Amino acid sequence: MMNNLTYQQSETNSQKVPFPILVLLFCMVFDEVLSWSFYSAEDDRTIVYAFRFVLSLAYSIYILFLNNCFTRRLLPLEKMIYLFILWTFFSMAIVTPGNILALRELSRFIYWGFAFPFVYLVVLRYPRAIQYICFFFALSAVFFLFVTISGREAMIDRRSSRGASGINSSYCLVFAYPWLLMYRSKWIKYLGLLIVCGGVIISYKRGAVLTLFMAICMTGLSGFLFYQGKQRLYWVIKCIFIVIIASLFIIYLFRNLYHLKAGYEYRMDAEQGSFSGRREIWEHLYYRFSTSSYFNYICGNGLLTTVKETGLRAHNDWFEILYCLGIIGLVIFILCNCHIFVVLYQLFKRKMELFIPCVAGYVVFFFKSVSGGWTHYTSFAYFLSLIAVACAMYERDCLAGLTDEQVTRQHTEVEISTGQVRERP
Look up residue 163 and give its amino acid: G
Using CB atoms within 10 Å of the CB of residue 386, give its burial: 0 to 12 exposed, 13 to 18 middle, 19+ buried.
buried
Residue 286: C-alpha distances to residues 29, 144, 279, 300 (Å): 36, 34, 10, 13
Read off the pLDDT of each residue in 156-168 and give the average, rounded to a whole number: 48
- The overall average pLDDT reported for the chain is 77
Give tens-digit pLDDT for 58-98. Answer: 998 888 876 665 677 888 999 999 999 999 888 888 877 66
Instruction: Please report the pLDDT score of residue 40 as a whole number.
Output: 58
Q: Where are the domains of the chain?
A: 11-417
Instruction: Please report the pLDDT score of residue 150 as a whole number.
Output: 73
Mean pLDDT lowest among 132-136, 259-263, 267-271, 302-306: 267-271
Using CB atoms within 10 Å of the CB of residue 381, give its burial: 0 to 12 exposed, 13 to 18 middle, 19+ buried.
buried
Q: Could you give the CA distance from residue 384 to residue 364 in angstroms, rounded to a whole number?
A: 12
Give tens-digit pLDDT for 222-263. Answer: 888 888 888 888 888 877 777 777 777 666 666 666 555 555
Give tens-digit pLDDT for 333-355. Answer: 999 999 999 999 999 988 888 99
275 backbone φψ class: left, alpha, beta (φ>0; ψ -120 to 50): left
Read off the pLDDT of each residue in 264-273 and give the average, rounded to a whole number: 52
Instruction: Please report the pLDDT score of residue 271 as a whole number.
Output: 45
Task: Give the pTM.
Answer: 0.83
Given a contact cutoff of 8 angstroms between Cβ atoms, the answer to whether 62 and 87 are in contact is no
Three-state secondary structure readout of the chain: CCCCECCCCCHHHCCCCCHHHHHHHHHHHHHHHHHCCHHHCCCCCHHHHHHHHHHHHHHHHHHHHHCCCCCCCCCHHHHHHHHHHHHHHHHHHHHCCCCHHHHHHHHHHHHHHHHHHHHHHHHHHCCCHHHHHHHHHHHHHHHHHHHHHHCHHHHHCCCCCCCCHHHHHHHHHHCHHHHHCCECCHHHHHHHHHHHHHHHHCCCCHHHHHHHHHHHHHHHHHHHHHCCHHHHHHHHHHHHHHHHHHHHHHHHHHHHCHHHHHHHHHHHCHHHCCCCCHHHHHHHHHHHHHCCCHHHHHHCCCCCHHHHHHCCCCCCHHHHHHHHHHHHHHHHHHHHHHHHHHHHHHHHHCCCCCHHHHHHHHHHHHHHHHHCCCCCCCCHHHHHHHHHHHHHHHHHHHHCCCCHHHHHHHHHHEEEECCEEEECC
Given a contact cutoff of 8 angstroms between Cβ atoms, the answer to whether 320 and 314 are in contact is yes
313 backbone φψ class: left, alpha, beta (φ>0; ψ -120 to 50): beta
Half-sphere exposure at residue 423, Cβ-oriented, CA atoms within 13 angstroms: 1
Instruction: Please report the pLDDT score of residue 422 as a whole number.
Output: 34
Instruction: Please report the pLDDT score of residue 98 as a whole number.
Output: 63
